[in-house]
Structure formats: C-alpha cells, structure tokens
Structure 1
C-alpha cells in the first residue's frame, strides 16, 4: 500500500488524536513533531522502527531513513476498538513482517498454540534411505594421498621407510628360499640385469593394503636357445571360470580363494643363468660377484612355465587330473566327491562337494608353498563377487570407475546403448588422431570388461578394428561407450542357481555388416541352464555371398564352441541327457544342417557345411529355427535401437546390481 505524507494542517491538529493502522489503533496525546523534511516518512513512525527503502533500485546506494523519536511512545491496544492507552510500553517489532506499515503488536497474554503433529505419510512408495539402505561410499576415488605415489627408481624408494621395509622383505624372501648364490663373474657369461618394481597394493574398497617391492629380472637380456627354450604357460579361460562358478552356485558349494606368495620363486630352472646383484643390497665383501640363479625369478622368460610345472606336479601327486579341455583346470573325483581347482598364475580358486577335502587340500598346499588363504570368493582378477540370495553377482564397477576417471568421463551424460544404431563407423570416417595412444589404451581397457559384460562384446569388437588408424569419429564412438558405462557401472553378471544344467546356445550373423570390406559379423552366446557361460562377437574370415552363407559360418563357429563346452562339462561330471540345442533364425542355414544336399553356392564352404552336418548326424547337437525377435545373440552382431537393446540385455545375463551392491554394503556394516 503506498505511503502518503502530509504537511501540517494550517488549522492545527487536535491534542487528542486517534491513529489507525491495518492491525492496531494508536492513541496520542500530542501531534507528531514536524522535522526539517516535512515529507520524510520517519516523522510518522513510532520509536525503534526501521523502514526499508521503498524507492526503485538505482546506481546510488540506498539511503536508510533516520530514526525519529516521537514525543510520546505509542502503546499497543490489543483490542481494535479500545481507546485506552498503555503508558510507557515500548513496541516490539522483532518478528514483524518486512512491510513498514503492517505492524503487529506484541500480545503477552495470548496462550501458546498447540504443537503441530508431524504429517502422516500417505504416499505408498518407500525410499531406500527409510530402509537404511545407502549407496556405498567410494572412498578410494577421493582418498589417495600424494605420499603414496609409486617410486620409479631405487633412489626415490630409499627415501621412504615403507618402501625400504618392502625391499628388505622381498630380499629376505629371496635369500631364505635359496634363489641364488654369489659366484665370480666370467668373461663368457651372459649377465642379466635386474630392477626393483614398486606397487601400492589396494583392496577392493581402494584402501592401501600393503607396499610391495618386487625384484624383477630383465628377461630381454636373455638369449634364446641358451638362456631359455620353452616359455608358454597356460591360464584359465573365462568360459571355464563362468562354467565352474555356475555349477558351484547351482549345487550350493563354497568357493575358496588362495594367493601364492612369490609364486615364480617356487619354480626351478633348468638353464644356467647369471644376474647382477640387486641395487641397494650389494654384498660389500663381494661387490664384483654375480648371482647364479637356482630358482625362477619374476621377469625371466621361462618363469611362468616353471611355476606352472611345479604346481601341476604337486596337484597331480595328490590325485588331481589335468583337464584336457583347459590345462589350468584340475579335477579330483573319488566316489561322490568332486574338487575343482582353477589356476590363473598365482591366483587360485577351489570349490567342491566336500568342505573337509577342501580344507585338507589347502593345508597340504600351505605346507608346500607360502600362500594366503583369502577365504570365500570375494575379489578375483579384478572382479567383485558378491554372494546373494539370488546367486553370485559378478561386478567390475571399480574397474569401470577407474576407466571413467582416467578419461575424465565420470560426470558425462549416460547413454542408453554402447553404439548408435543410426551411425555407421567406417575406416576413413573423420580425421586421423594425431596421437592414437589414448584410443588404444581405452579400447584395450574395455576388452577386459567383456569378462562379465556380454552387452559390450560387439561394441568392443567393432572399435578394436580401428586400432591401427583411429579417427576423431572413432574416438566419439569410444566416448559413447564410456557414457554407456557411466550409466550402467553397477551392472554385472548374475549367476543364479539352476535345477537343470542343460546346455543350449544362440547363433546369429550380420550379413555384410562391415561397409568397408562387406565382411559379415558372427555372434553367439551359450547358456548353462539360464546362466550365460560363453559369448563371442567376431568378424568372419571371408566375404559371404548370401545371408544363408553368413548364418551358416556363424553356425559352424557356434557349433565348435558347443562341442568344447560339452567336453568340459563331461570332465566336470555334468552330463547332458539330450543333445544341446543351437538356435538359428535363418531357415536356409537350418535346412542345410539337417539335409544332405549340396548347392552350387555352398561348395566353397564345404568344410563348415560337413562339420555342422556331421555333428547333427551324430546327435552331438541339434539345430533349431527361432524367430528373429527371439534371437538373443542379435545384440552381438550389430548396433540395436535402445528398446531392443535393453530388452535383450537382461536376457543375456546382465543385471542391474545397484540394490545388490547396496545390500552388500549394509551387510558388511552390520557385521
């Protein structure tokens, strides 16, 4: 409401005047005193009232009105009709509204209002926080102090007592195991160099577990034919890991994890090798002597092979047999007892039907090798394994978060699919990158994610085809994959218990999908029950002249995988009562696998033709037709639309593990 001012009336003002405001009635025995500024609003305000400026904003700072004291302080009448003044009672405006005229009197006699009850919840939805379920705190993403930088040379490490202690522990372990002895050097000796490698070992939550210093031999100084001969050493296949885990979960077996300390030091070498004394630990009495190696050392060409031979001999001596399907799988079978041992260098998984037999094996291994018993499967090869009521959930969220941090994409907008279904990647799309190193590093990192993420299989395979000469268009496609990962970082592979461990698969092909070479793409996925255990997306080796030919080539590749998995299951004691079924959505390829016909257009793929047909004739597998909308391998051959991709993603085993991971954190906190 606008404020009106006035000048003193020429006829005067009555000694007793009544003043009205919207809320109060004021009684005054004297008229207001007129100041030098007759129109100033402060002339008409009671004592201790500050009036905010009501003038429009300007470039000059606002001028606050001066407080003017009236001859007699007005009093507050609690009744709007009463005319009896209250003498010498100041007005309190501490809780008054900002309006300069809406003055509320202070009423001390009114009773306090009753407390307002809390609002009742009527919405049916219950939030996660009300159930005391919170997102896990990624402490390892933010708490990495600068003092934990890994040294790059011995001089840096010697300045920190933690690294000095780690070096002493490593050197003491080498000496106690009789890794070498000191001998005088000779002119005809090929003396191998060595160096210290420093690593900060962290747990799955990112916290520092220990400081590791490892003495590594410079194997590139070795000469083939004299210093080493054979170097190959097997590691467990991802399909074998998923198959064994699926069997263990379905049968309710416990899965134990071991870590061998200084595994390569247990291997004995057959060749005569000489190495320099390690820096920082040179014998002062024999400074010019060299180390004659008796056991293998990290960095030697033959070190992995020697360690695997040592472990294999130990397991075979305890009744295990080496699998013919996977050399890193060892199987023990006696009566109704089964034990499986999976070896990936120095990381070992043990599962089986007899907990007592597992404990006996761990005890025997501990007496032979220095090891750490890590208990139940929790974190293996960078994969987090979480036991739930629904099964075993495998997640690589920490690895995904590391990739997003390295590329600066942790705050990027999420994408619904890894690749766009409307954009075709070509060899010459865009401009060549000046430095393709980052592209190759990121794509190489993405390849490891396909261990638990079949939804990334085709995208990674497609982006890997441009490693030799990537362009900015290819880099944009990589960034889209990273955006997709940012929105699905908590997704993983859920292995559920199965009542039936029957094997079946889906085979598909994208005919002439590569627009540069017109080569087709093969994709297949194999299931043990409802758990996916094997999948692949790859380019075919030759151009297919028809869609039937492309589908049949994919069918032949999938058939090879079915035969291998069947042999693996047979060794594991999982027998198939009926031949595995391979589903194909091409009628021509399905008919060719069943009928002994030879078309002129199929002569050049006679090997694949007869390979699949012989498997069908011998009842090793069955080929069955399926509609394209039910083809689960469709996402492994080409980019799909968002709706189609999301509908197939859950069917190939990829599950959103947000609630599983939060529940896991809640469990750990309660313990």
Structure 2
C-alpha cells in the first residue's frame, strides 16, 4: 500500500439510501475501543478455509487473526449495536487553555493514492479485512469507478482499459464496463468491472462532486483515544475541552459501555451551586475504606482533601485509619508553604478519626474551625462524598477498560485524581481545577506530561547501564500512571517485578497489557465482586454540589498498586512513606503533546524498583505484609537513593552472577504455617521426619511426674548445588534448649566452633598456593551424637498423635537446639577424624590436619559445615569417601557460601563478602531506601553515657549490634564503629541508636564490599598496631587495634578498649603492641602446625617511637613499672628474634582506623591498602 499525507489526500463517506462508504485506511472503525463491522456480502466463499462471506485474500485463518477479533466476538455475543463509523482525515485543533489537555495533531493515515497510466489504471485501497465488501469506498487516487459485481450495472459497454494496477504491483484484468446508478441523482458512467477487486471504488477524479454529508472518522478515533487517556470523562466535558474534534459531532453520538459499568448510579439530589471565593478557606475531607482488597504494600484506605473554591483534590493512601491526623498536618503545612495560604475551615463527617483530641488540640493551636456533619446526614459533606464517588467511578473505568486485576485499585485512584484535577468542571465554568487555582495563586512547579491510556502496553527504554550490548534496548511494560514528584511515566514489568520511572517510553495505546479474557491475575471472583460492590454509604442521599457526569467515561490503563509507592521521588520526604502518596502533583500538560510514537524529550534515567509480589500464589489469610526481598540490579520503592546505585552484579562472571541471584531471590520461611502451604517445604519437613524416625531419635512415652518438656520448632534453609542451582529445601527440627535446666537436663555443654580467623588463614594459603577449596555438610549431624541425659520434648509442630493420648517424645539421640547436642556431635566427629589419621590442631580445635610425603590436607568444621583444602588431592578424595561411609554427607562442590559469607574465586584471587547479609539487614530495619553516608562513624564523636540521655529500645539495640559484630568478620572497615557502639549494650540511648543507624547507612553505600585474598607469592607474617590515648570521653580509657597479614592478605584484626587507663600515649601504644604480638604468635603457631612456619622475623609496625624504645630498653622504670609484664613479654620475643618493631609514619599506619574516627579521605586510603574492595559496585 502507498500511504500519503492526511492533508493531501482527503477521505469522505457516502451514506445515502442504505449505501455506506467504508474506511479509507487500514484501521477498522472503532467503538469503545473495539472494531465494528456490518454484515459481509453474500455469495463469497474462501478457497482456503471453505467458509462463506469472505475470500482467500482476507482469510484470518491464513493470514492470522487481528488483535481486535476477540473483542468483536464478545461484542457480537452481547448483541449490542452501536453507531456505524467510517474513516477519513481531518485537522485537529489545539485547545487554548494552558492547564488543560490538548490532543496532538494527527500525523498520518493510511489513505491510498493512484496514478493514471493510459490503458493501465491504478488503484490503492486498504486491507480487505478492514471494510465490508458491499461498501463503496471513495478513492481520491483511483483513475476510474470500479466494481467487482456485474449485477451493479444497468447497462454495459466495452471497457476503455484492459488492466488496472494495485498499489502492491499486482495487475488485475478488466472484464467489462458500464453504467451504475448509485442514487436517483448520481450515476457512475464508465465504471470498470474488475472481478478480482475486494471493494467497490468511487473515483472523485471523475465525479468532481461533493458526495453526501461526510464526517471524518479520524476525529472519532481521536475522541475515543482521548476518552480513554483521560480516565473516561463525560463526552459533554470533552466537547468543551476539544471543541474542534466535535465540530461535526454531538456528545450524544458517543456511548461508552465501560462508563455504564463503572458509573451507573441513582438520580442525584438538587444541586447547591454556592461556593467559596477564596482558595483553601474551606477544605472538604472524607476517608474511604477499608478496601476489601488490601494492596501488597498494605494500603486499605485513602483520605481526600478538596478545596471548595477550586475543587482541587489531594489524595493520600493510608495503611491504617489512624494515620489521618498525621496526613492532615502534612497537608496543612504543604498548603501554607506552597501557596502562602491559610486553611480556615475543615469540613468532614462525624467519623471518629476526625474528632480525636489530637485534632481538637491542633485546631485550637492554629485557629482552625472544624465543621462536622450531623449523624446519618452525609449530604452535609456532599462535596467530599461526591468526589469520593467520582474518583471511584473513574478508577473502576480505568480498571475495567484495562482488564486489570482489582488489586491495583490504589494505582487507579491515584491516576484518577491526577486526571480529574486536569479535567473541566461545570461548577468552575468548564475550567479545570488547576486553571481555577492558577487564577487565584501562583502554582508551584508542576509536572508537564502528555496523558496516556492507563493499562496500555508501554516500551521503556533501557539505558546502557541496564543492559548489555546485545540485549533489547527496551522492555515491554504495563503503564501505571504518572510519577508524583518526577517528570516521568510509571511503567511496571510483571515478568521481572520491576517498576520504571522514565520519560523514554513508547506507548501502544490501542493495546492493553492484560488481554480482555484473561483471568484476574491470581485474584478470585469473590474479590472482584467485592470491588464491584464498593460504594460509600449514603451516596444516594448526598446533596451534591457538582453536576453529575454522564455515564460516559474514558479508559486509562491502570498500574499495579504495589508499585505506586515505589517510584523514585527526589522531592519526597524520606520519612513519610504513607503520606508521600499525595496525588495532587500539580502538573501542567503542554499545549502540543508529544506524538505517542514520537521520540520523548528531556529523558530521565529510569528508576527501577522491586516489587515484592509478581507471582500467582495461593490466597493467603492473616499473613500481613510480606517482607521485601532484594534482588540484584533492582532498586527499592520511592527511594532517592535506590540500592541498585550501590550494588550490582554486572562485573561478576556469569556462573557467579547466577549463584548470587539464586541466594538473593529465594525467601526462607520462618513459620511452619507458611511452610505447610508450599509443597517444597512440606516435602522437606517430611524428609526430616523420616530421617528422625530412621535414626530412632525419640520414643513416644507418657510424661513422668515431675518432669517438664522442652518445646521445638522448625527452622528452614535452602541448600545450593555446586553449579549454583537450588539443591534442596531443607527443614530442621530444633529443640528449644533455652528452657533446659543445668544439672537436670544437661551437664557439660562446651563444644568448639571454627574460628573465622583460621578460615581466613586457610583462604590466604589457598590463594597463594593455588589450593582447591571444597565444601561438605553432614545431614542430620546432631542425630549422630548419643544423649546421656533424660530429656522430654513436645510433639513437633504440624504433627499430632493418632492415638489421642498425651504422650511426649523421650529423646534417645541429640537434637539441634539442645544444650548438650553440639558437644555430643563434635565428640563423635573428632573420634572419626582421628581414626582416619588426622591430628587435631592445638591452635584451633576444629581444624584437623594430616601431613604425609610433604603434602598437607586440612579440614575445618563449623558444627556440620566443613571446608577441605590442601595440596594432597588423593587424600582429600579418600577423606570424602571415608566420611561418607561414617555419616550421611552432602557434597556442595567448590566453596561458595559458608556461614553467611559469600566466597567468589577468580584468577585475581578469592573474595569474601556478606552482601546478602547486609541487604537482608537493611531490608529488615527499613533502611534500603536511606541516604548513604561515607564513613561508619562521625569524626570527633562524643558518644558516652550522660545522665540526661533518652533511653532507646534496649532489645532492638542489642540485636542490631550483635548483627553488626557478626558482619565485622568480613568488614574490618566497621570494626572501630562497632567496638564503640558495643560499649553501651547495657543502657543504650537515642544517640547510641543513631550511631548504629549511621553504621547501617554506611553499609548501604557499599553492601558488596569485602576482603580480597590475592596471590602474592610469599607467606610472610606481619602486623600493624596502634592506640588512641584516652579517647573515651566517659572513662578516658584508650582504644587499641591491630591488623595482621599472612602472605600479603589481611587475616585478623581487632579494635578494643583497653581495660585500664593509660597514663601516657606511649603506655597506650605499648599495651596495644602486646595485644598485636599475641596475635602474631598465634598465627606463627598455626602456620607451623600446617607446615608453613615463618622463616624470618615477623614485623609489627608501630608509629610511636617511645613505645618502641621501651620495648628495646628498660628506660623510665618509674613510669613503666606497672606494665612490666607486657614489657618482659615483648622483650623476650625480641631477644628470641621472633618479632621486630619497625617504625612507620602516622600517615602509613593502617591500624589508625581501628582506634579512632578519621576523615573520609584517610579512611578510604586505608581501605585501598588493606585490599578491601567492592566488585559489586554499580560504577
């Protein structure tokens, strides 16, 4: 087909005596967003499918069904009729008001053109499937009138042409000619008979007459499109908004089924048209809810504030009804700040949320009047009640027209308010609320976004940092609405659970994301019916003040609710989660909106967020809000500082990236009730119970008199295979051993666990010597330990006795959680390892070594998780077989994840981090969206204990500090800060809690930071020690710290407040040197046991010359005699030439960051020297 410009090739419609001209382009007539056709011609038969009333060239079975086919069939089943439409072209006017919507000028249409080439006639027409065969089409480019039906001729003659050429180049023969009488006053002489045509064509080149009264269907299409974009408003209002589009049409010509379904209501009461003359002098308010469908973010309510003068509306989403007071205070401050206006009167109903003493005190303090309606008289609050209904009607229309699930109602209502503030109102003289407000007061900066159809398909451009060179440049998403505080559209990708906020979007406004006949995306019909029945009590009796909009309305696509609060919003307060959903967002629509398929300008980097719920899951009851989970490269909701800016996996290898994604995205349950709803966890519980029964862990017996039982619970975890995929879902029955009594239920409990210092030493050896690292775990390890005491336990949760008796479990074997279980298991495991020829290390009792023929094999165990390394591969394989014969083992492959520590190995070395642990911690405390800081503790801080300090939550403080202590095993950069905050565990204050929060904010800046163990081709041992004299402002004790290195890699560190007050800086440094020396001696002993004893003196670098002099010479005896023990200890090791103390300048002292808070420049300089890196950094 040859397409021409819409202005150069006009179209028209002939509609006389039952004959109707069809569309002149390839788009079918559209009614309510659906194509419409008349009955096809009789006597036709398709040679492909054999059906009647069409030919092969328009057979859908051969060429494919169009996207409107399902809509058409549904429409036929409803047997409804609508007005016939036809297509053409027309100019589109621009609406004058700046603060109202204006439609874009039509860009082009599929109008045909043809040329006369002598005996070869030309014709160009639209696809046969787009019109009826018995319809005459007006073709301004056709050289002759043409028909395929010989019955149309009243007289025949010889044709003047022998062939005609179609636009696609096909030559069709002309078999005859004659005269056709189209109307009593219009004859068509010299009409050609072309049997192969699909249409009857009327050439205005020959007639040169105006035929009938035609209207342009492009205008009609534009009207329907804007009707859907603007949220299904009344066509009366649209005629005022777009007068030129309605130049030849009446609002009564249009009727929208979606509007009827969404807005049907009873006849309103008489109107009261009086209103205030000054904005904000009277504010109407009402609370709607609770919604029968709770959004994923927990929203069930919303509150409205409507200005009486301008009808400007603000809407806030609420999780709880008692948030109304806080929202109103924010709204009041916003009006005062942004508009320099004063609210004088608040009018509401008599709801309990408005008559609390908080409201009364606030009104009295600010001189506000509060008017409430009488009981059972909602008419007195008619403005707010009617606005509630109007918003719900528009939201229903958006959801219905977009075929969207009702769980997205919050996005629909926020989009509805955005649109209604920009739609004309009869009360305002057909001005928009924004226009009315602008006439009284200067508006703050408003958003200028062309409206789009809610729920349509939107292709969001992916920036270079969001894709690789071979990835698609855009992502297919669902259009949700408009960003509140950004110039961008909100688009959601259900397949990846991400929401984008961007201007770089291409919209397919004629296509909804959810198909018309799709299920409710995991919702039940009951939920749908609940939503459809939503209405506010007493609406029928409301004495409305606004003329009710007719039942016509527009279809705007709706967005999933759980993303409405997730867009990035730079201007939004960080602490105001629920209240940030205010939807007034005073935005102005430009006079000439960007064409829907044209390039967007002023591009804004798309902000990606994670939605917590993208899968169709069974209906959950009383579960509350599910915890948000971090997934790589996904930003969090409504954050100015999205987590994806600080952590990424793009620099990782593909296998490692897959593994990190696996451990990040799988959610481990905490409740047995949740597990029972998932077959994967149910199977894991079943397997654990079978193992317990197989090992004869207990016997069912009546509880003896005087005995007590211990409880038990299920603990869940996910195990991964060597190829990073999920191996199995693991459930473990754990006894609540904290209820046991010493001397009755247990005796000895000590059991060693692996020192992470030892693990890091082994990793440094493996990096320098290219040793393999293999990981195993023992299944049901504690069940292998024999239980000597008499212990009774409750029946496991989720199980019950079939006998109906009150029996309990008498434990025969050790079980996880019992006080004595670790000791029993480790004793059994130690005996097995010694039987295989391994020796237990004296430096770390959980380390087992075997040296033979100059080779070494090392195994370190932490409860039931173990790591095997060394250079004797045969012995490693044999040990694996021996352990498998003794215990039920699981081969986890190469070391990837150990005790919550992620291990990544490459040709650059071995990298340790606790990225997932940090992200889970930030998510738990709600700081994934916080603004990060550059240091973990404030320089020159004054943390201490003061008499007037405000206490903080002691339990929460202790839990957070405990987590940070564990985190410091791979993050020496927070060691000093954690050491400081751990000093106030007994009586934390708000200042101490703020210090803990700052550490978490620092971790937000680099969650993936960790230790790198490189191959340095040496195994030298050295350390750095330092002390900060009298730095503690509470007791003036000093803080000492040290770093130690093996083979050039950092393996141990410590920051600790000294136990006594030092009288001088030299004394403080001297005590610190003693602590550092102890650590070096332990490393020397450990390396000697492994077989790599240091061959030269160990260096302990110090920056205090006085302390170095004291260690070498017994000077100033009177001032140092109280540290004689430390001095003699140091001097002995100096004389045996085990250690030496080189002097180092203060700027090169690495341990400085362990003793005091330093500047960010010095801090990051030290981190580089310590090989603390962040391969997960997004930049």
- Give TM class, smaller chain: 0.7 to 0.9
Q: Structure 1 residues 410 and 273, CA, compared in 2 at 3 Å: closer, same or farther?
A: closer
Partner of 1:196: 713
Q: How far apart, in 1, do the equivalents of 2:1021 and 2:797 lie?
A: 55
Partner of 1:249: 767
Q: How far apart, in 2, do the equivalents of 1:402 and 1:222 lie?
A: 31
Q: Structure 1 residues 283 and 312, CA, compared in 2 at 3 Å: closer, same or farther?
A: same
Partner of 1:541: 1059
Q: How far apart, in 1, do the equivalents of 2:949 and 2:1125 lie?
A: 42
Q: How far apart, in 2, do the equivalents of 1:463 and 1:472 lie?
A: 12
Partner of 2:692: 174
Gaps of 5+ in 2: 1-88, 105-204, 211-217, 219-463, 472-648, 652-656
Partner of 1:79: none
**Residue 900 of structure 2 corresponds to residue 371 of structure 1:** no
> Displacement, 1:575?
1.5
Q: How far apart, in 2, do the equivalents of 1:61 and 1:615 lie?
A: 85
Alignment match of 1:301 (pick from 805, 813, 819) = 819
Alignment match of 1:557 (pick from 1053, 1071, 1075) = 1075
Q: Structure 1 residues 585 and 221, CA, compared in 2 at 3 Å: closer, same or farther?
A: closer
Partner of 2:1162: 644
**Residue 650 of structure 2 corresponds to residue 134 of structure 1:** yes
Partner of 2:750: 232
> Displacement, 1:617?
1.4
Q: How far apart, in 2, do the equivalents of 1:515 and 1:149 lie?
A: 44
Q: Structure 1 residues 414 and 219, CA, compared in 2 at 3 Å: closer, same or farther?
A: closer
Alignment match of 1:354 (pick from 858, 872, 875) = 872
Partner of 1:336: 854
CA contact (8 A) 1:219 1:301 kept: yes
Q: Structure 1 residues 248 and 140, CA, compared in 2 at 3 Å: closer, same or farther?
A: closer
Q: Aligned to 2:1053, what secondary structure does the other structure show?
A: strand
CA contact (8 A) 2:768 2:1047 kept: no
The alignment's C-alpha RMSD in Å is: 3.5
CA contact (8 A) 1:150 1:200 kept: no
Q: Structure 1 residues 474 and 384, CA, compared in 2 at 3 Å: closer, same or farther?
A: same
Gaps of 5+ in 1: 1-46, 65-85, 95-124, 663-671
CA contact (8 A) 2:753 2:862 kept: yes
Q: Aligned to 1:325, what secondary structure does the other structure show?
A: coil
Q: Aligned to 1:440, what secondary structure does the other structure show?
A: helix
**Residue 991 of structure 2 corresponds to residue 477 of structure 1:** no
- Indicate the structure whose relative CO is greater, using CA pairs within 8 Å and at least 6 residues apart: 1
Q: How far apart, in 2, do the equivalents of 1:369 and 1:491 lie?
A: 37
Q: Structure 1 residues 651 and 429, CA, compared in 2 at 3 Å: closer, same or farther?
A: farther
Partner of 1:396: 914
Q: How far apart, in 2, do the equivalents of 1:579 and 1:63 lie?
A: 83
Q: Aligned to 2:670, what secondary structure does the other structure show?
A: coil
Matches within 5 A, 1:176-575: 176-182=694-700, 186-187=704-705, 190-201=707-718, 210-278=728-796, 284=802, 287=805, 290-428=808-946, 431-575=949-1093
Q: Aligned to 2:1169, what secondary structure does the other structure show?
A: helix
Partner of 2:131: none
CA contact (8 A) 1:505 1:583 kept: yes
CA contact (8 A) 1:139 1:206 kept: no
Q: Aligned to 1:576, what secondary structure does the other structure show?
A: coil
**Residue 670 of structure 2 corresponds to residue 150 of structure 1:** yes
> Displacement, 1:476?
2.3
Q: Structure 1 residues 51 and 193, CA, compared in 2 at 3 Å: closer, same or farther?
A: closer
> Displacement, 1:186?
4.2
CA contact (8 A) 1:259 1:372 kept: yes
Q: Aligned to 1:393, what secondary structure does the other structure show?
A: strand
Q: How far apart, in 2, do the equivalents of 1:265 and 1:441 lie?
A: 30
Q: How far apart, in 2, do the equivalents of 1:655 and 1:434 lie?
A: 34
Q: How far apart, in 2, do the equivalents of 1:141 and 1:474 lie?
A: 32
Q: Aligned to 2:966, what secondary structure does the other structure show?
A: helix
> Displacement, 1:50?
5.3
Q: How far apart, in 2, do the equivalents of 1:215 and 1:59 lie?
A: 65
Q: How far apart, in 1, do the equivalents of 2:989 and 2:1075 lie?
A: 31
CA contact (8 A) 2:669 2:675 kept: no
Q: How far apart, in 1, do the equivalents of 2:1081 and 2:1113 lie?
A: 21
> Displacement, 1:253?
0.9
Q: How far apart, in 1, do the equivalents of 2:1170 and 2:694 lie?
A: 50
> Displacement, 1:658?
2.6
C-alpha offsets along residues 246-274 of structure 1, whole Å, 9 cap, x if unaligned?
11111111100001111110111233444
CA contact (8 A) 1:338 1:353 kept: yes
Partner of 1:610: 1128
Partner of 2:407: none
CA contact (8 A) 1:323 1:331 kept: yes
Q: How far apart, in 2, do the equivalents of 1:211 and 1:252 lie?
A: 33
C-alpha offsets along residues 639-666 of structure 1, whole Å, 9 cap, x if unaligned?
111111110011122112137x99xxxx
Partner of 1:12: none
Partner of 1:22: none
Q: Structure 1 residues 450 and 59, CA, compared in 2 at 3 Å: closer, same or farther?
A: closer
Q: Structure 1 residues 505 and 48, CA, compared in 2 at 3 Å: closer, same or farther?
A: closer
> Displacement, 1:59?
8.7
C-alpha offsets along residues 54-92 of structure 1, whole Å, 9 cap, x if unaligned?
x6x48999999xxxxxxxxxxxxxxxxxxxxx99899xx
C-alpha offsets along residues 590-632 of structure 1, whole Å, 9 cap, x if unaligned?
0111113352111111111111111111212112211111111
> Displacement, 1:406?
1.4
> Displacement, 1:223?
3.9
C-alpha offsets along residues 106-136 of structure 1, whole Å, 9 cap, x if unaligned?
xxxxxxxxxxxxxxxxxxx999944988376
> Displacement, 1:337?
1.9
Q: How far apart, in 1, do the equivalents of 2:700 and 2:928 lie?
A: 52
CA contact (8 A) 2:765 2:1047 kept: no
CA contact (8 A) 1:179 1:294 kept: yes
Q: How far apart, in 1, do the equivalents of 2:844 and 2:102 lie?
A: 85
Q: Aligned to 1:385, what secondary structure does the other structure show?
A: strand
Give the count of matched residue pairs.
556
Q: Structure 1 residues 544 and 360, CA, compared in 2 at 3 Å: closer, same or farther?
A: same
Partner of 2:1113: 595
Q: Aligned to 1:423, what secondary structure does the other structure show?
A: coil
Q: How far apart, in 2, do the equivalents of 1:362 and 1:62 lie?
A: 75
C-alpha offsets along residues 14-46 of structure 1, whole Å, 9 cap, x if unaligned?
xxxxxxxxxxxxxxxxxxxxxxxxxxxxxxxxx
CA contact (8 A) 2:1021 2:1047 kept: yes
Q: How far apart, in 2, do the equivalents of 1:548 and 1:531 lie?
A: 28
CA contact (8 A) 2:764 2:1047 kept: no
CA contact (8 A) 1:401 1:410 kept: yes
Q: How far apart, in 1, do the equivalents of 2:783 and 2:1135 lie?
A: 51
> Displacement, 1:430?
7.9
C-alpha offsets along residues 209-228 of structure 1, whole Å, 9 cap, x if unaligned?
65444333343454433432
CA contact (8 A) 1:580 1:622 kept: yes
Q: How far apart, in 2, do the equivalents of 1:363 and 1:353 lie?
A: 17
Matches within 5 A, 1:58-207: 129-130=468-469, 134=650, 149-151=669-671, 161-182=679-700, 186-187=704-705, 190-201=707-718
CA contact (8 A) 2:860 2:868 kept: yes
